Structure 1
Amino acid sequence: MNPVTDEQPADPTSLKWANHFVSLGPDFYTELQPSPLPSAYWISRNLGLARELGLEQNWFESQAALELFTGNRVADGSLPLASVYSGHQFGQWAGQLGDGRAILLGALETSSGSQEIQLKGAGRTPYSRMGDGRAVLRSSIREYLCSEAMQGLGIPTTRALCVTGSDAKVRREEIETAAVVTRAAPSFIRFGHFEHFSYTDQHAQLKTLADYVIERFYPACREAAQPYAALLEAVSERTAHLMAAWQATGFCHGVMNTDNMSILGLTIDYGPFQFLDAFDPAHICNHSDTQGRYAYNKQPNIAYWNLFCLGQALLPLMETQDQALAALESYKTVFPEALQARMRAKLGLPDTQPEDTALVENTFRLLAANKVDYTIFWRRLCTFTPQSGHEAVRDLFFDRESFNAWALQYSERIARVDIGLRADLMLKNNPKFVLRNHLGEEAIRAAKLKDFSGVDTLLTLLQSPFDEHPGHDSFAGFPPDWAASIEISCSS
């Protein structure tokens, strides 16, 4: 954390809040106050994001900041609210949902644009659906760390400014303690916001929402012949790039419901996520997903299905259904191209050759057949050369003959690539550190005993995951045997 100084702590109540979402009107939200938590304490504070938001160095040193980010007080100028939306959950229409435990405080204007600040776990809202509106310590730590891990990996995501805790009890499968994670993003609008107003035949509000999103985030769409089809196409392309990033990194989201899909193409709502250990294309990270709808290899198609739902929601604003279908076609082109580009970078290939598609497919096939640790394989491959014995990579495979055949194919391809250029490209695209489930679990177990050092250590490593971080190799090693027994569900 930041060192103790003689300076007076910054006053968080003096922030200049912008309340853009409020301009949509009361059909879109309910104004309310966060629900206080007793005896709040800091769990972790993200100084890097604080600087990006323009907050002072000693920002987190005041009791007022702790109270603000726990929901125990509201700053002047902030208009807290919870938004309403609907959505498809596990492929079925779920009807009205909404911010059941998230409260938007407003937006801060930064040098890189407006950032909305939201408290997750700050109490019951009109959209809590019999829930308590709280988040628990374990899920809050997981979201805090993973959102910053994705940022470090260069994957579009919501961010996390801090986590606060309280000994207040929360009942889930067992009694746990409460926590609040402060999230930041240009917007938290989801596909489900559009579905809500479309399915309830509130087409005027649907248009208001679409115009708001275009004006603030997709201004180029205003000049299109059909602005709403252009919006759908732009969202499809952003989502395609996001899916390519997930697949290339071995990231499983776990709950790709339409209400968990960002209109800005951000990774949002970290619940039962997982970075792959042993590579299994059919891996299901969500213990609640008994049918495997959101398995790793299904994520790209599910994203398209969700975009199709968004297209249906936008139909009242379009002249014909064909306009929506045409807008969705961009996903089918952009996703495979984006995935190939990311995989070429992971392989250290700065240019494109006709045989690259087959090489990528053979790599995936070989990893799956041998259940190879996904992150370790790619990091070790950074030191592969045709001239060396490359034992460090070969030792990951039990089928040595298949590996040797692949290595020959790979060697022939990289023979035309400068070795320094290839190594540099690979080291920038193959992380040494990802938030494996067991690492998060170890930090959570310590945090339950009020030892938050593990959270801060992981935050440091994950914010720069491509660096070596000498002395921390144990965080980049193989998962222990007990890691396979970790079960992550939708409960948080």
Structure 2
Amino acid sequence: MSSPPLVSPVSHPHDLPVLDWTHRLTQLGPRFFTHLQPTPVAAPRWAARNEALRVELGWPNALFDDEHLQAFAGNALMVGSQPLATVYSGHQFGQWAGQLGDGRAIWLGEAASAQGPQEIQLKGAGRTPYSRGGDGRAVLRSSIREYLCSEAMHGLGIPTTRALCLVASPEPVRRETMESAAVVARVAPSFLRFGHFEHFSAQGDMDSLRLLADHAIAHHLPECRERAVLWQGNMYAALLDEVQERTAKLLAKWQAVGFCHGVMNTDNMSLLGLTIDYGPFQFLDGFDPGHICNHSDHQGRYAYGRQPNVAYWNLYCLAQALASLIDDQEMTLQVLEGYKTLFPRYLGDAMRAKLGLVGDLAPEFEREADWTLVEDLMQLMAAEKVDFTVFWRQLSQAVVVQSTAVALTDAGWSGVTDLVLDRPRLLKWLSLYTERAGQNNFAAMGQQMLRSNPKFVLRNHLAEIAIRQAQAGDFSEIDTLYNLLKSPFDEHPGMQAYADLPPDWAGQLEISCSS
């Protein structure tokens, strides 16, 4: 027997449901989705509740009471929700995969919030028509990683889907081994992907393709209306242009913090330029442009250094899907060219900010010289696989304590020079760097750098410790990490161990698509 709809715990029967729902996506019609019910899960319990996000969205306390636990587990429905799964297609590891779709994510609807309508999905809430033989479940291990990394990325200022709460269950789920189930409630203004457009284009269904594009522009990307002026009024060229710029900004932010997504298939690319689908992700430990974080990526297609080019390839696939709507091949290619200009600029700005070279310190004519400085440093770091996060943070702190009269032999630089073996090479670079900074206020520069270079990131071994404790029934480490990662640029006295170099065993962790 299915569970009854969940009514909010209120004192008067005429009160409104806890969330105020709308369902603009359902107005597109049945070609875009399948209505279905979540599959109940055994003995759910709260593993984590994101109170800060709930407050940020203006949603009530009642959302996290025990009655709503059943709704977030998929065992009951909140009044006003309309669960469904959407259909999309896509390219996976560079090959056309055909029809895909929400295989384990069930869309509940759009809820009004202080930040506008927010779509809510339950990831791991059971099989859908698009599960392709899968069980539709998520395991506790991967769900903890998604919950924490969603909020870590937000703390870093990187566009992302958000994680509202995490529900754990003892229900067994088989992956490489037998594991336990979990459901993540994730939130975003829209979960539309490149693959949604590829699906209808591949089917030759131009009416649905146009309907979807118009929906995206009207409800999620209204900036396209102004941008269309640049493209002779062509709204669909403007749509592609908006998406390519958002994607360029996103990839620059990823690269600047050493984030590896791990599986940048076109169905994992957000139309809104959000980081979406946290699977085999990793923040770099030792800096290695060729690092492959996905154990399933045998060819290294999604290695860290290849991510920007893969994003362009994915945009090209989106452009092919939109080509019939744009109806101007030369214009379509011209739009795509924007990425080749914008990404280097956004990455250059991000990397120069990591060096404190912002504002008056980085006038336009010095951008190229600044980028040479960045490249020289990155080559030095790559040669020895210097820890990415620790190096940048140590450099920031070293700059803070320097005066404008800098002696590279000062003990203040030891936190940086102790990280490398080729000390003469680093000292040569530091000499060029301090010469570039000139007589500017090093303390102010350093403070800027501390706001650009995080002390804490979600390293794999930190997530693994939280996972192992949670599998033993202790969810406290999830909250500890969450509280660090939501403000990763702060010092957090007493928590230095979470910012230290990773232990030796961290290098043995293997993260695959099932993660």
TM-score (norm 2): 0.92
Residue 42 (1) aligns with residue 50 (2): no
Aligned partner (choices 95, 113, 116) of residue 113 of structure 1: 116
Higher alpha-carbon deviation: 119-128 or 357-366: 357-366
Residue 226 (1) aligns with residue 234 (2): yes
Q: Which residue of 1 aligns with 2:343?
A: 335
- Whether the aligned pair in 1 keeps the contact of 2:223 and 2:242 (CA below 8 Å) is no
Q: Which residue of 2 aligns with 1:441?
A: 464
Amino acid at match of 1:366: L
Q: Which residue of 1 aligns with 2:5?
A: none
Shift of 1:416: 3.6
Question: In the superposition, relative to structure 1, how do residues 347 and 185 fare at CA in structure 2: closer, same or farther (>3 Å)?
Answer: same
- Whether the aligned pair in 2 keeps the contact of 1:97 and 1:127 (CA below 8 Å) is yes
Describe the superposition over 1:240-281 as per-residue Cα deviations: whole angstroms up to 9, x where unpaired: 000000000000000000000000000000000000000001
Q: Which residue of 2 aligns with 1:33?
A: 37
Q: Which residue of 2 aligns with 1:245?
A: 253
d(CA) in 2 for partners of 1:198 and 1:489? Answer: 30
d(CA) in 1 for partners of 2:312 and 2:115? Answer: 30
Aligned partner (choices 56, 63, 66) of residue 66 of structure 2: 63
d(CA) in 1 for partners of 2:474 and 2:10? Answer: 24
Residue 18 (1) aligns with residue 22 (2): yes
Shift of 1:418: 1.9
Aligned partner (choices 371, 374, 379) of residue 360 of structure 1: 374
d(CA) in 2 for partners of 1:401 and 1:14? Answer: 63
SS in 2 for 1:154: coil
Shift of 1:470: 0.6
Aligned partner (choices 101, 104, 120) of residue 101 of structure 1: 104
- Written as runs of structure 1 = structure 2, the 5 A alignment for 1:184-333 is 184-222=187-225, 224=228, 225-333=233-341
Identify unmatched segments of 5+ residues in structure 1: 1-7
Amino acid at match of 1:24: L
d(CA) in 2 for partners of 1:383 and 1:38? Answer: 49
SS in 1 for 2:244: helix
Amino acid at match of 1:15: L
Shift of 1:100: 0.1
Amino acid at match of 1:487: E
Residue 480 (1) aligns with residue 503 (2): yes
Describe the superposition over 1:128-162 as per-residue Cα deviations: whole angstroms up to 9, x where unpaired: 00000000000000000000000000000000001
Amino acid at match of 1:250: G
Shift of 1:77: 1.1
d(CA) in 1 for partners of 2:91 and 2:27? Answer: 27
SS in 2 for 1:113: coil
d(CA) in 2 for partners of 1:199 and 1:445? Answer: 43
- Whether the aligned pair in 2 keeps the contact of 1:17 and 1:108 (CA below 8 Å) is yes
Q: Which residue of 2 aligns with 1:411?
A: 434
Amino acid at match of 1:323: M
- Whether the aligned pair in 1 keeps the contact of 2:18 and 2:62 (CA below 8 Å) is no
d(CA) in 2 for partners of 1:139 and 1:13? Answer: 31
Amino acid at match of 1:26: P
- Whether the aligned pair in 2 keeps the contact of 1:294 and 1:302 (CA below 8 Å) is yes
Q: CA RMSD in A?
A: 1.4
Shift of 1:226: 0.7
d(CA) in 2 for partners of 1:222 and 1:383? Answer: 45
Shift of 1:13: 4.8
